[in-house]
Amino acid sequence: MRKIKSFARYQEIAGILIRHGFGYLIDNFETKAKQDGLPKSIKNPLPKRVRLLFEDLGPTFVKLGQLLSMRPDLIPEEYVKEFENLQDKVEEVDYTEIEQQIKAELGDSPHRLFREFSYTPLATASIGQVHKAVLHSGETVAVKVQRPQLPQLISGDIAIMKNIAPVLQEKTIVGKVCDVDEIIDVFERQITKEIDYNIEGLNTDCFFRQFADDEEVSVPKVFWEYTSERVITMEFLQGMRVEEFLKVTKNIGIRERAARNLIGAVFEPLLTKGIFHGDPHPGNAMFDVSGKVVMLDFGITGRLDAKLRNQISQLILALDDRDIYAVMEIIKDTGNVTRRINDQHFYEDVAELVERANGVTTGGMELGQLINGMLKISLQHGIKMPDNMFILGKVVMITESMARKLAPHLDLTEILQPLALSHLRDALQPDFNTGQFYRQLSEAIRGLFALPRNLAQAVQLLARGDTRITFYHRNLNWLYEMLDESSSRISYSLIIASLIVGSALIMHTGKGPLFLGYPALGTIGFIFSTVLGIWIVFELLRTRK
């Protein structure tokens, strides 16, 4: 049965590919393509055609496009911009399927589990839909129910992606500028986490604890007894989207308070705990009439280690000081340098970025512009950034955009500089109340006591002449290739010279089998050396090396 469903999905995808003019990706469909013809959308630019294709292919490919819209390191910029317009084309799930899904996941029907349950969804998306309910304890909750058979659909679609990946890589324009296998691997890792509501519940809990005592930010509580891998039940929180909030609230002070709260809701957990909301769009970051922020939907969450948090804090301070050299070093230290950097060009690009990012015309620095500019410069200069930095760049851009709508002249420096200073100050001060400090102290003491023994062993090795130094190179492949090519050409040249000298000596003797009155071996040697010499000259002219 599973194979039949898989084949049916493959047929469906093949038909959609053909309708959008991508039938050459699927074998043995030429006749069907001729019968169906091609749509008017075939005249659209390729990025738009791919976006429309993804929308028709369904949830898996919509999610793929949404992920790629955050990853300019994986696809060209024109595709990134086009994929930002991706929209879910999903229908409401029938109430009987919702009832069956809840029963399968929580062990009973909705009308038994809840005092009240509304089958009319509050929101519908490609992965699931949200329903309002009331617990028997009287608490109002939001129940997010995953679409039935979604994991199987996604698993099958990923298998099909992997199946046609070689064709995409070898026979399409996209394959010439993208690593298709890497795109599929990154997507599979993210979507696997996103469809597991237990992971979303853990992320929500983390943010709930972070803001438990904060009067300016609300995060819903998770009810774990009503939560599973495919169903998640949370406290029901209400708020207004930024557009509605601006219509209702005319007070400039409340608007600015809302903007500050939004910035804090994103950056405080990022710098203190290394966790940030990965999709704070207007439907997930809302406001009440007082300017309090309501954060929802933590299905996509980014995490940063201590090193990256320190680098972001240093970046905020360096930007405020317009310290170009500091920003250059932060970019290099954050990423992995894959090729030799032209320092002058790198300096010019970073200097221009720092000036633009200081927001001369907008009243304060533009951190989102800086991070995304950093990522673009890093790609240009061969510096590979961590995956989460690309998601963070998008998150900061979205957050700043919303904050600017609320308070156009908001100075982000005033908000972010104290947060960055506080984080760096805390990082320098040991916390004597945590086990981590004592563990690190124990390791340091153990290393200190081991130092004399290690030094004695090193001296003994030096005395016996047994010391060995292991050398690891980085980014020297170009040198190996150049030396290999040069040595090969020198060898060919020596062989030609030897042939010429040997042939000349044989010609001088005049002995041996003759060809046209000349020694045959000498003649053959001259001919062979001439051909080999012409070939080497041709290669030098062709490669210009």
Q: Show the tokens assigned to 266.
A: 């994103």
Task: Report angle CA 465, 468, 469 to the nearest 5 degrees.
Answer: 140
pLDDT in the model for residue 476? 57
Least confident of 26-40, 183-197, 470-484: 26-40
Work out the mean pLDDT of the chain and round it to a whole number: 80
Between 496 and 60, the more confident residue is: 60
Q: How far apart are CA 206 and CA 272, in angstroms?
A: 12
Q: How far is the C-alpha of 208 from the C-alpha of 201, rounded, in Å?
A: 10
Instruction: For residue 149, give the 3-state DSSP assignment.
Output: coil
Separation of alpha carbons 360 and 374, rounded Å: 18
Indicate the pLDDT class of residue 477, thresholds 50, 70 and 90: low
Are the C-beta atoms of residues 237 and 220 closer than 8 Å to each other?
A: yes
In angstroms, rounded to a whole number, what is the distance separating the alpha carbons of residues 427 and 490?
A: 57
Enumerate helices (H) and strands (E) in the chain, giving the number of each.
22, 14
For residue 343, give Cα distances in angstroms to 155, 264, 340, 374, 381.
46, 36, 9, 15, 10
Distance (Å, rounded) from C-alpha 116 to C-alpha 143?
12
Rounded to whole angstroms, the Cα distance separating 273 from 206 reads 9
* Sequence-ordered alpha helix ranges (H) in 229-366: 242-248, 252-273, 306-321, 324-334, 343-357
pLDDT tens digit string along 355-394?
776 654 444 556 777 777 888 888 888 888 887 788 888 8
Convert the pLDDT of each residue in 102-111 to its tens digit: 999 999 999 9
Which residues lie below 8 Å from residue 267, measured CB to CB, with a gap of 6+? 276, 415, 416, 419
Using CA atoms, how far apart are residues 317 and 6, in angstroms rounded to an integer?
Answer: 53
- Compute CA 293 distance to the chain's CA centroid, rounded to the nearest angstrom: 27
Q: Per the structure block, which two tokens stand in for 417?
A: 């500089």
Longest dimension (CA), the chain: 114
Contacts of 330 (CB under 8 A, 6+ apart): 311, 314, 315, 318
Answer yes or no: is pLDDT of 342 > 70.
yes
Work out the average pLDDT over 462-477.
62
Distance CA 367, CA 249 (A): 27
Strands across the sheet containing 293-295? 217-218, 293-295, 285-287
Would strands 275-277 and 128-134 be described as parallel, antiparallel, or unpaired? unpaired
For helices 2-19 and 150-171, the axis angle rounded to 10 degrees is: 50
Q: What is the pLDDT at residue 3?
A: 54
Is pLDDT larger for residue 499 or for residue 157?
157
Sign of the C-alpha dihedral computed for residues 483, 341, 376 and 336 taken in this order: positive
The two three-digit tokens of residue 121, written as one number: 């969804």
Report the sign of the C-alpha dihedral through residues 101, 106, 110, 114, in that order. negative
Question: What pLDDT is recorded for position 35?
Answer: 42
Q: β-strands 514-515, 128-134: how paired?
A: unpaired
Both tokens assigned to 81:
């911009």
pLDDT in tens, 214-262: 999 999 999 999 999 999 999 999 999 999 999 999 999 999 999 999 9
Q: Which residues contact 47 (CB under 8 A, 6 or more apart)?
A: 76, 78, 79, 81, 82, 83
On whether the CB atoms of residues 11 and 30 are closer than 8 A, the answer is no
> Residue 77 above 70 pLDDT?
yes
Of 56-60, 297-301, 464-468, least confident by mean pLDDT is 464-468
Query: What single letter denotes the amino acid at residue 330?
Result: I
> What proportion of the chain, given as a percentage, has pLDDT over 70?
80
Nearest by Cα to 108 from 198, 226, 224, 195: 226
Closest CA to 20 of 33, 29, 31: 33
Q: What is the pLDDT of residue 362?
A: 47
Element spanning 226, H or E: none
Give the mean pLDDT of 269-277.
Answer: 88
For the chain, how far is it from start to end, CA to CA, in angstroms?
A: 60
Q: Tokens 């299905």 identify what position?
A: 299
| Spatial distance between the Cα atoms of 367 and 358, rounded to a whole number of angstroms | 8
Backbone phi, psi, residue 283, to 5°: -80, -15
Q: Which of 13-22, 68-77, 279-288, 432-441 shows the highest mean pLDDT?
A: 279-288
What tokens were used for 6?
A: 């898989």
Place of tokens 């420096």: 413
The listed range with the strongest mean pLDDT (1-10, 197-206, 487-496) is 197-206
String of DSSP letters for 26-78: STT-HHHHHHH---GGGGS-HHHHHHHHHHHH-HHHHHHHHHHTT-TTTS-HH
Question: Running DSSP on this structure, what letter comes out for residue 20?
Answer: T
- Position 520 confidence tier, pLDDT thresholds 50, 70, 90: confident
Q: Where are the beta strands (DSSP E) in 148-290?
A: 217-218, 231-235, 275-277, 285-287
Query: Residue 97's Cα: distance from chain center in Å?
Result: 34
